[in-house]
Each structure stands twice: as C-alpha cells, then as structure tokens.
Amino acid sequence: MAGTDLPVSPLALPLPALPAIAGLRLGTIEAGIRYKGRADLTMLEFAPGTTVAGVFTQNKCPGAPVEWCRAVLPGGTARALVVNAGNANVFTGRAGREATRATAEAAAALVGCRAEEVFLASTGVIGETLPHAKLTAALPALHAGLAPDRWPEAARGIMTTDTFPKAAVRTARIGETAVTIAGIAKGSGMIAPDMATMLSFVATDAAIPAPALQALLAAGTARSFNCVTVDSDTSTSDTLLLFATGQARHPAVPAEGGEILADVARALDAVLMDLALMVARDGEGAQKLIEITVTGAVSDASAHRIAMAIANSPLVKTAIAGEDANWGRIVMAVGKAGEPADRDRLSVAVGGTWMAREGGVVPGYDETPVVAHMKGREVEITVDIGLGEGRARVWTCDLTHGYIDINGSYRS
C-alpha cells in the first residue's frame, strides 16, 4: 500500500490546535475498506438547523458521492457527513449509486434525519466497487464515539497519499459576536484521481443562510483551491463543503449575506488559503513550494490562465526541482497559454530579481541572488506581461523523481 509509507513532505506544516465548534461532533473508526491498521472512516454530525454550501469537481466523469452531494445540496441543510478513504466510488455504475444511498440511509437512521441531509465523500482507487456493507457495519460504533474535540483524528482519517494532516482555523466577528471557522483538507494535488483527490471540510458555529454561505464559499474557492495545481490532472472526486451550525448568538444574517459577513469572508478566505497551500505543500514528490504572480495581463482571467500555464508546465517544474532559474522555460509557458502576450514587452523575475525585461535578458544581469533564492524551499516567480492591469497569483510545487515513484507504482 503506497501512501502511508511516504516520507513526510519537507514543506509540511504542524497541525494547529483546533477548537470545538458548537453544534459539531466528529470522529473516526477503522472500517477495513482498504488500509489496515488505521482509521479510514470519518463522520461529522451537525446540530439541527445547520446550513451547508459546497463546490465540486468540474470533471465530466464525477464519482457517485459527488453526484449524491450535488443532488442533495439544494436542500441547504446538513446533519451529517460521512467520508471514507481508500476507495473513491468512481466509475462504479449502479453499484456506486446504491452504495451512496445505503450509506446515507444508515447514517440518517443513527442521527435521526433524512438521508438527504447526509453528505458523502470518498477518496481512493477508481473503478472498484465500494464495499458499503463495511461502512454501514462500522457506522454505529463510529457514531457512538463522536465528540467535539476529534478534529486531529478526522484530519488524519481522510488522508490517502497525504504525508501530513491539514487543518486551519480563524475567528471572525458578526456584529459583536465572535465566531470560529475551522476546517480540514486532504490532497497531495488537487488531482491524482485514484488515490489523492482533494477533499476539504470546513465548519463554523455562525448562523448563515445557505445562499449566503454558498456565495462566500464560491468566492473563497476562486481565490484559494482554484489557484493551486500539482499536476494539471483534475480529480473525479474533488469536494469542498462548508457547514454553519448556527450555534453562535449574533445578529441575524440575511439570505443574501452582505456587509455583515465581511469579516467572516476574510476569515473564511484565510482558512481556505491555508488549506489550499497545504495541499500544494504536500504535492506528490514536492520539494519546493512555488508561488507564481502574473501582472500586466489584459484581464485577471487572462493572468490566471497564464499563471496556470506556468504552474502546469513540466519543464518549468523540473527546472525548479533542479534549482535552475531557467527563465526561457517561463517565457515558453507564457507563450503556450494562448493568451494575449507580446514577447517584446515581457519581463520575468525570480525571487524579486528581474532577469528579463521587455523581451531580452537584463543587461549586466547577475545570477547570484537568483541562484541563492532557488536553493530555498519557497520559490517566487513574477511575470509582467506589459499589456494591461490583469493580475493573478497561483501556487504549485516542483516536479521531482518522487512524483514518478509515487504514481508509477501506486495501484500495484
């Protein structure tokens, strides 16, 4: 079983202290789905009245749990979340759909809610039938052991090839009332579909109507998870869910949200950004975290596409792995993005040192500070397109032998 034996990423961050969220109990258990000797089934139970928002993979071949969540999300309320690791329940046909319904019904019976208030996520191998009888058999003991303080167990219980557990927390104010936002994520890439799909679950004790919650989540995702890539492969299972238990006592939030949520939006963005960057830090084989800033594009969307073309270029990523500030490859990636660009206005900086300006190498360019920067764990690339005001920032990791090792031998 690959994954659990991998060395911890050199870019790992410690797990922060995670406070209890009023209205939330959680826990894990070993259901024996695929892994041995570790918890692989995670459950969160929410107080009545909890609202929910979600965003999901854009892959056209999504897993059965993604389809289940999409179908029940319009209800806007959640009472439970059940997550298994080791089997993605993707490309499993009718058996996959039956597995999601059976799991949701079993959890609903324990919680005392409708099956449509149970959210599901699965991560692991594609194309193998999910042995849902193992899940439903393990659920009663799992449910009996739920407690408010088991965030660390949950962060570990959803891991597959992740090398460290990922969590983030912030506080915010609604009116004069403090609320807490805490979340966990897994993923060693947004991607890596048969083992390391990106999952993230965030909870707050705030009372936020589902439409406002969905708007907050969509905006925050665009700035965080949608700006991270490991290898350009979009998972069939990516799922990000945000739950609001409504236990905090603060002024009522209208359905459309608005200014009253400004501080919550700031804190949520910070939580999502923390989690997204941890995914990049745990990118398969990652030795360096790469931040790519593009300015001067014709629009923000154009800047984003250029930044992602750089972030997904195998040649850029291998050059950084080799600590080679190869700006020629960055120019290539800008050019292949298909966005407006003019070679003779293009400038490239690494670690704040401008190497190329307006179409050519900077006269008298001294490589010394750039070479020193490239030896570090965090590499910054800035590209100015020189055409407009469009800006974007994205993150990725380098492409190393570790990626080949992990992905050339995962399943067997």
What does the binding site for a second copy look like in residue numbers (CB under 8 A)?
58-62, 88, 90-95, 125-128, 191-194, 231-236, 312-315, 318-319, 321-322, 324, 326-329, 331-341, 343-344, 346, 356, 358-361, 399-401, 403-404, 407-412
Q: Tell me the two tokens of residue 365.
A: 């360019």
Neighbours of 220 (CB within 10 A): 26
Nearer to a second copy, 110 or 385 (CB): 385
Nearer to a second copy, 28 or 92 (CB): 92
Nearer to a second copy, 171 or 232 (CB): 232
Q: Tell me the two tokens of residue 132.
A: 């849902």
Nearer to a second copy, 78 or 88 (CB): 88
Q: Is 89 annotated as contributing to ligand binding?
A: no
Closest CA to 97 of 130, 72, 123, 124: 130
Least distance to a second copy from the beta carbon of 335, Å?
Answer: 3
Least distance to a second copy from the beta carbon of 404, Å?
Answer: 5
Active-site residue (options: 197, 234, 353, 396): 197
d(CA 329, CA 142): 51
Closest CA to 328 of 305, 298, 295, 361: 361
**Under a CB-based contact definition with an 8 Å cutoff, are residues 36 and 309 in contact?**
no
d(CA 156, CA 164): 8
Nearer to a second copy, 95 or 255 (CB): 95
Output Rg (C-alpha) for the chain, integer angstroms. Answer: 22
**Under a CB-based contact definition with an 8 Å cutoff, are residues 322 and 288 in contact?**
no
Least distance to a second copy from the beta carbon of 241, Å?
Answer: 21
**Under a CB-based contact definition with an 8 Å cutoff, are residues 282 and 161 in contact?**
no
Q: CA dist 406 to 232, 243, 354, Å?
A: 16, 33, 35
Least distance to a second copy from the beta carbon of 228, Å?
Answer: 15
Least distance to a second copy from the beta carbon of 57, Å?
Answer: 8
Least distance to a second copy from the beta carbon of 14, Å?
Answer: 29
Nearer to a second copy, 46 or 327 (CB): 327
Q: Is 312 annotated as contributing to ligand binding?
A: no
Nearer to a second copy, 249 or 411 (CB): 411
Q: Is 409 annotated as contributing to ligand binding?
A: no
Q: Is 197 a catalytic residue?
A: yes
Least distance to a second copy from the beta carbon of 64, Å?
Answer: 10
Closest CA to 318 of 389, 374, 235, 391: 374
Entry field: residues in the chain: 412
Exposed/middle/buried for residue 39 (C-beta within 10 Å: 0-12, 13-18, 19+) = buried
Q: Tell me the two tokens of residue 285.
A: 């084989």
Q: How far is CA 89 from the centre of its chain?
A: 19
Q: Tell me the two tokens of residue 115.
A: 């099956």
Q: Is 375 annotated as contributing to ligand binding?
A: no
Q: Which helix (H) or strand (E) holds 182?
A: strand 177-186
Q: CA dist 54 to 121, 197, 199, Å?
A: 12, 16, 11
d(CA 88, CA 62): 10
Q: Is 60 annotated as contributing to ligand binding?
A: no
**Under a CB-based contact definition with an 8 Å cutoff, are residues 316 and 330 in contact?**
yes
Q: Is 412 annotated as contributing to ligand binding?
A: yes
Q: Which residues are annotated as a binding site?
A: 160, 186, 197, 284, 407, 412
Residues recognised as catalytic: 197
Q: Which residues are annotated as a binding site for substrate?
A: 160, 186, 197, 284, 407, 412
